Chains A and B, each alone.
Chain A
Amino acid sequence: MQLLDIRNLTIELDTGDTVIRAVDRVSISLKEGEVHALVGESGSGKSLIAKALMGVLNARWRITADRMHWRGIDLMRLSNEKRRQLIGNEIAMIYQEPSSCLDPTAKVYNQLIECIPRNNLKGNFLQKRKALKKRAMALLHKVGIKEHAHVFDSYPHELSEGICQKVMIAMAIARSPKLLIADEPTTALESTTRAQIFRLLRSLNQLKSMSILMISHELAELSDWTHGLHVLYCGQMVEAGPTQTLFTKPKHPYTQALLKSLPEYNQSLAHKAPLYALKGTIPTLQHLPIGCRLGPRCPKAQRECVATPLVSDTHGHTYACHFPLNINKEKC
């Protein structure tokens, strides 16, 4: 069953004189127990999509979608109240920059127990409090924090970034959600902690069949454990499909450029040889090119690229390009 089904999600910002389209007709679908990743550079609208799904964007943003179904329920039609109840119980999100998203004025313990559901605790007041503490301790142990007493009694600024990140994850999984949205959970962490967090997320996915929507700009660290990838560029869905197909046979020049810019995927690359890089930089949202937004930087761009390419779909591998790569000769 489709857990999440988003079709043609568009997010616009009205600035008074112009309307900026930050996310342009993005479709995502996610089955139960799958790990998907949204990949894109900064400013490509990854976090916006996640926030729109959670319903935490403020009123200035205009969100429209043909369909935004969560387990068959259309989120766009629900009232705010109902939507919050539904999402609060079933979707959790790990936000970017943990040290700034945790409340600096409260101790970690008080912040953590706020997230723990109270309805299955038994006994009187004291017993409940004891059980709550036990749950909180178990949560911290689960995310790999051993000295729980010290962490409970600290403010977020007293802890390192990695520990704060783990506390955020503990808060997110406290309600054992069906879907976990992880917004760049491993930036600013060193390689061992990063590997630990990935192991944790992976085990949550396998043991509890929790679906995960990873948001990241590091393609390399997603390759071996995600089922599907969605590549975004400037708010447009560039290519989406199963991770393996995307890595071996990218159809869009941008995906190929991303892969080529990673030293670990070019085994033949000589030591200190220049890496493959697209020319130019990401356009700002005020000056987006018309048609395919990659157009001015694309090595394969031709005249047709001023019209927005339609999304084509072959075997669950979708791409939006006029001149796709790796296409079988017979098909054309």
Chain B
Amino acid sequence: MEPVLKVQALHKHFNVRAGLFRTKQFNAVSDVSFCLGKGETLAVIGETGSGKSTLGKILAGADNSSSGQILLNGQIIEDDGGRVENTKDIRLIFQDPMKSLNPSTPIGSILNEILILNTELDSQARREKINQTLLNVGLLAEHRNYYAHMFSGGQIQRVALARAIILDPKVLVLDEALSSLDPSVRAQTVNLLLRLQRETGLSYILITNHLSLVKHMSDSLLLLHKGEVVEYGETHEVFNSPQTKLAERMLAC
């Protein structure tokens, strides 16, 4: 089967100051390759500073890579740092939904703006689409007139999800989106994500530190350390027989 997302030899380096005039190269992500099929979930785990979030940003198009290719449905969308298309098909959900939504605009206009910028729909069709997306994530159509602060913790997470899926993406990148939630809200959100995956065949890239969630939700697992891939394979295989010392230590606790 053709994978939805294919990443080949992705590199990202930053220049950091090493002296008064010299700069040093810092490899945030080096030589990362993986495949993601339709309706599958890839979990990315690693310590802080291992390049997890940088990888997520590059995939969603918020940052450019230094070299390497990203292929979506067999077509190159990023080649050695140059993005070909805009990023309609890979969407990112941030860690803190409260901080990532504009507090001075109603939810409806936030969602509307995305549609104006990315689609050719007229205002009637946009309205339809927003209502349908809000219903899809378990909110009501009336919520379009609400501001971000009027939602509770669980609902605001749903709004963030609505913002991500309104363009019908193929891949969703969840950057620690589940870690800071309360247990009951997290269970609700996980159920919602799993339902969307079942119904629409959405693929997820789950960047997290929460190992039990990784075990429950993901099909394959990518372990990063200092920007390099340490382990990559099916989740249960990696959990049952980790190949490296580092993986053993990370997965044991």
Contact = CB atoms under 8 A, between A and B. Distances in A.
A32 interface: no
Interface stretch (B5-13, B73-81, B208-216): B208-216
Given A161-B48, A217-B183, A282-B153, A272 B217 contact: yes
Interface in A219-272: 219-220, 257-258, 261-264, 269, 271-272
Interface in A260-307: 261-264, 269, 271-278, 281-282, 284
A160 B187 contact: no
The A interface is mostly helix, strand or loop, or mixed, namely loop
B135 interface: no
A110 interface: no
Contact of A41 (B183, B213, B250): B183
B185 A41 contact: yes
A145 to B, nearest CB: 15
Given A191-B211, A192-B249, A284 B188 contact: no
B250 A261 contact: no
Given A191-B250, A281-B185, A274 B212 contact: no
Interface in B204-253: 209, 211-213, 215-217, 249-250, 253
Interface of A: 41-42, 160-162, 187-195, 217-220, 257-258, 261-264, 269, 271-278, 281-282, 284
Interface stretch (B21-29, B83-91, B161-169, B189-197): B189-197
B129 interface: no
Contact of A160 (B48, B216, B250): B48
B182 A41 contact: yes
Interface in B28-51: 45-49
A227 B97 CA distance: 35
Contacts of B46: 190
A160 B48 CA distance: 9
Interface residues on B, range: 20 to 34
B177 to A, nearest CB: 14
14 contacts: A188-B180, A191-B250, A192-B249, A193-B47, A258-B184, A261-B184, A264-B215, A271-B216, A274-B194, A274-B195, A275-B191, A275-B216, A277-B187, A284-B152
B153 A281 contact: yes
A276 B194 contact: no
B47 A190 contact: yes
Contacts of A190: 46-48, 209
B183 A192 contact: no
A186 B44 CA distance: 20
A278 B154 CA distance: 12
